[in-house]
Each structure stands twice: as C-alpha cells, then as structure tokens.
A and B are shown apart, each in its own frame.
Chain A
Amino acid sequence: MTPHTLALPDYREQLPEVAARFGKIRQRPVVLSVKGLRKDFGGNGASHTVFNNVSLDIHRREFVTIIGPSGCGKSTFIRIVAGLDEATGGEILLDGKAIRGPGPDRGMVFQGYTLFPWRTVKQNVMFGLEMRGQGTSAAESEARQWLEMVGLSKFENSYPHELSGGMKQRVAIARALANEPQILIMDEPFGALDALTRCKMQSYLLQIWKKVNVTILFITHDLDEAVLLSDRIMVLGVNPGGVREIIENPVPRPRSVDQMLTPTFLSVKRRLDELIHGPVSEQEEEKLPVIKLTEAGDEVE
C-alpha cells in the first residue's frame, strides 16, 4: 500500500532572493575553515576511522548545521572545532589562524547545560568576562544586558537548579555569547528539552542570531530543526564516514514554524532523510520475529 505522496520540487531549486542571499554570504569573509579533517579512534592497529577528508568553510554570520546518523562523528567534529578533542589529520583555521586547544573565541553550548551550580545565573554569565580579567562591576553590568536579551533578568540571582531546562539553556547561550565569540558552537542544545520548549527555543535562537553578530555551528539529529534553522546543512555519514553532501537550504528567511509544511521545506527534509537513511525505495522496514500473541480478529490495523 502506498500512502499519498506529494510531488515535491527539487531541493536544489532556489528562489531568486534565496540565491541572492547565498551569493552575499559567500562574499563575506570565512570565519572558520576546516580542511581535510580526519579522526581515528583506537590507534595501535585496531584503529577505526570516524570520518575522513571533511572540509567546510563557514562565512561570517552564517548558520551551519551538521546532521547525521548516530556514530557519524558529528559530536566529535564539533568537539575538535571547540578544541576539546584532537584531530588525527587536517587542520582548522579560525580567522586564518590554526586553533590550538579550547578558547573563548569559540563559544560552546552543550546539551547537558553545564551551568556552574555554585554560581547564580548572573555569575554564570559573568564567568567568561572574569576569565578575561574584566572588573566585577563592568562584568556585572554586561552580564545583565545579556540576561535581558535572553529574557531572564528576573532570575539573575537564582541558582541554576531553580530553573527549567529551557531557561538553563538560555543562560548557557547568554554565557557563551557574553564572551563575544567568533563562532558559537551548539552541540544538540535542545536535545534534552520537551517538544514544546524545544520549539520555543528554536525561534528564540533565530531571534538572537539576528540581533547578535555571531556565526553559528549547530548539531542536531532532528531533521525539522536542521531545516528550520540553518543556511547550510552538512550531512555526515557512516561506513565510510565523511561528508555526504552540503545542502544550501532553499527555505526563504525569515523562518517560522508555519513553513514546515511548505513544499520547499519538505523537499529538503526528504533529501536529508534519503541521505541519512538511504533512498526511500531501499528502506526496508525490519520485520521483527514476533510470534503473534493476540487473538484472531483482534487486529489493530
């Protein structure tokens, strides 16, 4: 039985304004340049290559998302960019300079919030500024501005454990942005949130991105999230690991949840689905070897 399928446009078709936008993005200077990145795990003979020859240029104020099945090394990739892991080969340039270890020029938002539990919300946002050697009063007023931007001024003296998951993640974003990083790296930041909060956070992130001079490198395993947020989507695969395709997202901006049912949106989503799970025709539902335990005539379908 074939369900009704829509005739979707080619995901490579772009409206003139979308094409113009990509043209403008390409004109901007490259913030982050990844060249021939390779990562092996294990070593000593039994090594396993997670990905190989990954190259990507991210331009200023671009929103790039990395997506892929589990095990494709998207988290590893992002951790290497953040300087928390080391690559086996290749190089990463930030503003033309090779990165060495973690640094405040690459802000990071983790899935697990990672707020400092002993610091209040305001003190959390002040952390990076203090590390930079800024005086307390200056850091404090700056932190207040960032908290106002993420709408948490009222909670500046609360401790993280008193906040909801979405609020914690907003504090984490404010904390990372307060450092004014060249690039904001987000590792499945909304993965632990419920669907409703996640949806709010997505539109929220788009607003922040519009207001703040920041380039975003985002990881998700959620196709809708990837299409809703990004300019370009890099799809990583497994066996062999590496880049499957870098898609220029044709969905016009400004984005909203309403676009999620437009043919353009769906065309990108279907392409992502193909790349990650294989073409629709080849997808076979695995039959589970379950013995029938219900009575005849008690069918659900």
Chain B
Amino acid sequence: MANADWLGLKNELPQRRRLVLTLLSFVVPLALWCAVSYVPWLWHPNVRVTVPGDVDYFVEEMELPRADFQRELEKVRAAGGTLPEGDRVNPLYLPPPHKVAIAFYTAFTTEPRLQGEPWLHESLGHSIRTILWGFFLSSIFGVPLGILCGTYRFFSRLQEPFIEFFRYLPAPAFGALCVAILGIDDGPKIAIIFIGTFFQQVLVIGNTVRKVDPALIEAAQTLGSRGWKLMRCVVIPASLSEIYTDMRILLGWAWTYLIVAEVVGTMSGITLFINQQARYRNFDNVYAAIFMIGVIGLTSDMVLAALGKVLFPWKRRAGGGRWSVLEWIREPGSLFIKQKPKPPAAPVAEISKD
C-alpha cells in the first residue's frame, strides 16, 4: 500500500516520501531564489554599466535603474554618439545564492576591518552565550514555578493572572530600563531574553503539567503516594517529556528576542556583525549571518530532539517517525528499507484454566 495517495488525511507517509518532501521544502525556495538570480530576464531591475559610452556621468561598474539607463541610451543614440553598454543585474541587496554560499565560508576567514572588532565566530559565540544565559536564568525560575502552577490550584491562582498580564508587555519595551539598571554590556541583553522567555515559560509549562492524566495521579494515590512524593514521583515524570518539548520551542522563541536584545546598550554579537556588514554593503555576508542563525537554531533543535529520544525511551513508539531527516541521520540505512522490520510480537503467557 506504499503507493497510496500522497494527500491522505493524517496518513503517515512512507519514509522515502517523507524525505523527498523534507528536501523539497528547502529546495523549492532555493530554486526560486536561483531563478531570480540566474535567469537574466527575470526581474533584474538594474543595469550595471560596462561601457560608459558618451554619457558623461556613466562610469564602469555603476548601477542604475533600467529605465534611467534606457533614457540615457536614447539620448546618446539621438545625438549619434558612442552607445553605452551594460548588463542587467539585481540590486545589491539580493546577492545570488553562490555568493552567499561563498560568504558562509569567507565570513569566517575575513579579518575584521577595524582592529578590536570581533571575528564572525566571536560574534556568534557572544550571541549564543547571551541566549543561553537568558534562557538558563529564565528556566531555573520558570520551570519550577510552572510545575507548581500546574500541580497546585493555589499557585496557579496566585501567580498566573499577574503573569498573564505581564506577558503582554513587550520585552524590548524594558530595554531602556534594563540599561539603566544593569549597565550597557551583556546584563540588559540577558535581561530582555529573560523577560521574553520567563512569562511564557511559566504559563506553557503550567499548562503542560495540568494536562497530566488525572487517572495516573489517582492510581498513584491508591498506591499510597501523597503530597510531595506525588509531585516528585508522578506529576513531574509524567510531564517531563512534554516539558522538554516545551523547552525546545521556548528556546526557539528566545532566539527571536536575540536581535532586539543585542541592540540594547552597546550593540553586540551577531547583530553587530550584521549591521556592520550592511553598512559596508556586504549583503552576501548579511544573508550568510542570518542563515547561520537558522542553521544553529535548527541544528540545536534536532540535536535536542534526538537527545529527547534517548532521555525518554518510553516515548519511542515502534515505527512512528516524526521527522524523517532525524531518523535518516540516526540510521541512514533505514532509508533503503521499505518497512522497518517489526519486533517479534511478544508472546502472551499461557494461562491455564481454573
């Protein structure tokens, strides 16, 4: 039945198709970008002058809108002078894919223009450090508080209404305040990531913990579990794998606060790099840096997802793959086997008749 339809509702697709679709999700946007960059009659709104001809203000390598170039050309043709020549190009801010690909490498090898400016890897390191600190500090308060709110109505009533209010206050709004309190270095940046993460974290984790199957708690109670033990031995382990997933999503949110956080006080990290490269008009570097954030985010999430499978073995269901690339990375061979061999069915122990 592997050749059933591609659009079956809720039907898990065969592994090979999942991989194809995953690759396509990246290939399609890339192909669009390539088309706009390399097919000369697609878009390309500017002209780069190669031969200035008799237009007095044209110089080689100069770029101008196609309409302007055409007007000058007509003028020169009417006057009977040497015609200018030029190639159709895209604006500077849309570099072709290969330049960005090269920049992925050269950005790391290019020495900073000014002395004392950070290398790209230093900028990235700085950003990652800022995120991790903000996320770590948020988690050591947010996770326990979330678990308390999810477990006890008392804490939920006591905390959540205020947090619900506070989470609507945009974290960047606290920028000036954070600088006033924490100075201009990393303090306010970490604080903004903290503010952006913490309040969501408490609510999200509280909700997750509330979803623990009440039947499990009742079963534990009839087995003599109560109070603190009930929380430690049932509520927390029952929600731990979901909390872990929440944390992965929250870490993604923390990244979205990074750029805002890094412009607070003295600009730093990857934001500083991007801004400077944009000022030097090295847009290939700008794209490379932005994509690097994506690569770091996606890679770390995949690593965490794989780690989750190790940490929570009871969540591993036979055959139920969520993300084909992950499986493929773990066991490349599985791609070429149509169906994973099922583990032998557990024999049900025979029961003799009474």
A residues contacting B by CB (< 8 A) are 82-84, 101-104, 106-108, 110, 112, 114, 116-119, 127-128, 130-132, 151-152, 154-155, 158-164, 166-167, 175-176, 179, 185, 200-201, 203-204, 206-207, 254-257
A117: chain B residues at CB < 8 Å are: 238, 314
Restricting to B230-248, which residues have a CB under 8 Å from any CB of A? 233-234, 237-238, 240-241
Closest chain B residue, CB of each to CB of A253: B354
- Beta-carbon contact of A159 and B313 below 8 Å: yes
- Beta-carbon contact of A131 and B349 below 8 Å: no
Q: How far is the CA of A84 from the CA of B233 in the complex (A)?
A: 19
Q: Which of B215, B224, B240, B313 contacts A112 (CB 8 A)?
A: B215
Q: Which of B213, B220, B223 contacts A107 (CB 8 A)?
A: B223
Q: How far is the CA of A118 from the CA of B233 in the complex (A)?
A: 10
Q: How far is the CA of A257 from the CA of B349 in the complex (A)?
A: 19
Closest chain B residue, CB of each to CB of A164: B348
Q: How many contacts A-B (CB < 8 Å)?
A: 100
Q: How far is the CA of A221 from the CA of B213 in the complex (A)?
A: 25
Q: How far is the CA of A155 from the CA of B348 in the complex (A)?
A: 10
Q: How far is the CA of A127 from the CA of B225 in the complex (A)?
A: 9
Q: Count contacts on B: residues with CB < 8 A to the other chain.
A: 29
Between A and B, 27 residue pairs with Cβ closer than 8 Å are A83-B221, A84-B221, A102-B222, A103-B222, A107-B223, A110-B215, A110-B218, A116-B216, A116-B220, A117-B238, A131-B220, A131-B225, A151-B349, A151-B351, A152-B349, A154-B349, A155-B346, A159-B313, A160-B314, A161-B317, A162-B346, A163-B346, A164-B346, A166-B348, A179-B223, A203-B354, A257-B353
Which of B220, B225, B351, B352 has most chain A Cβ within 10 Å? B351
Closest 10 pairs (CB-CB, A-B): A104-B224, A114-B219, A102-B221, A108-B222, A128-B223, A151-B349, A203-B354, A131-B224, A159-B314, A200-B351
Q: How far is the CA of A28 from the CA of B326 in the complex (A)?
A: 63
Q: How far is the CA of A83 from the CA of B223 in the complex (A)?
A: 12
Tell me the smallest distance from the CB of A258 to a CB of chain B, in Å. 9
Q: Known pairs A127-B233, A207-B354. 10 more at Cβ < 8 A?
A: A84-B222, A110-B218, A114-B213, A116-B216, A117-B238, A131-B225, A159-B314, A176-B222, A185-B222, A203-B353
Tell me the smallest distance from the CB of B294 to a CB of chain A, in Å. 33
- Beta-carbon contact of B223 and A175 below 8 Å: yes
- Beta-carbon contact of A116 and B238 below 8 Å: yes
Closest chain B residue, CB of each to CB of A159: B314
- Does B340 count as interface, using CB distance less than 8 angstroms? no
- Does B211 count as interface, using CB distance less than 8 angstroms? no
Closest chain A residue, CB of each to CB of B347: A154
Which of B221, B223, B233 has most chain A Cβ within 10 Å? B223
- Does B229 count as interface, using CB distance less than 8 angstroms? yes
B233: chain A residues at CB < 8 Å are: 127, 130-131
Tell me the smallest distance from the CB of A195 to a CB of chain B, in Å. 15
Tell me the smallest distance from the CB of A262 to a CB of chain B, in Å. 15
Q: How far is the CA of A132 from the CA of B223 in the complex (A)?
A: 9
Tell me the smallest distance from the CB of B24 to a CB of chain A, in Å. 33
- Beta-carbon contact of B218 and A84 below 8 Å: yes
B216: chain A residues at CB < 8 Å are: 114, 116
- Does B312 count as interface, using CB distance less than 8 angstroms? yes
Restricting to B311-354, which residues have a CB under 8 Å from any CB of A? 312-314, 317, 346, 348-349, 351-354
B223: chain A residues at CB < 8 Å are: 104, 107, 127-128, 131, 175-176, 179
B224: chain A residues at CB < 8 Å are: 103-104, 128, 131-132, 179
Tell me the smallest distance from the CB of B271 to a CB of chain A, in Å. 41
B237: chain A residues at CB < 8 Å are: 116, 118-119
B218: chain A residues at CB < 8 Å are: 82, 84, 102, 108, 110, 114
Closest chain B residue, CB of each to CB of A256: B354
Which of B219, B221, B348, B351 has most chain A Cβ within 10 Å? B219
- Beta-carbon contact of A167 and B222 below 8 Å: no
Q: How far is the CA of A119 from the CA of B313 in the complex (A)?
A: 10
Tell me the smallest distance from the CB of B240 to a CB of chain A, in Å. 7
B215: chain A residues at CB < 8 Å are: 110, 112, 114
Question: Please, what's the 1-or-0 string for B62-92, where 1 marks a CB less than 8 Å from any CB in chain A?
Answer: 0000000000000000000000000000000
Q: How far is the CA of A30 from the CA of B287 in the complex (A)?
A: 80
A254: chain B residues at CB < 8 Å are: 354
- Beta-carbon contact of B219 and A110 below 8 Å: yes
Closest chain B residue, CB of each to CB of A172: B219
Question: Please, what's the 1-or-0 string for B288-326, where 1 marks a CB less than 8 Å from any CB in chain A?
Answer: 000000000000000000000000111001000000000
A132: chain B residues at CB < 8 Å are: 224
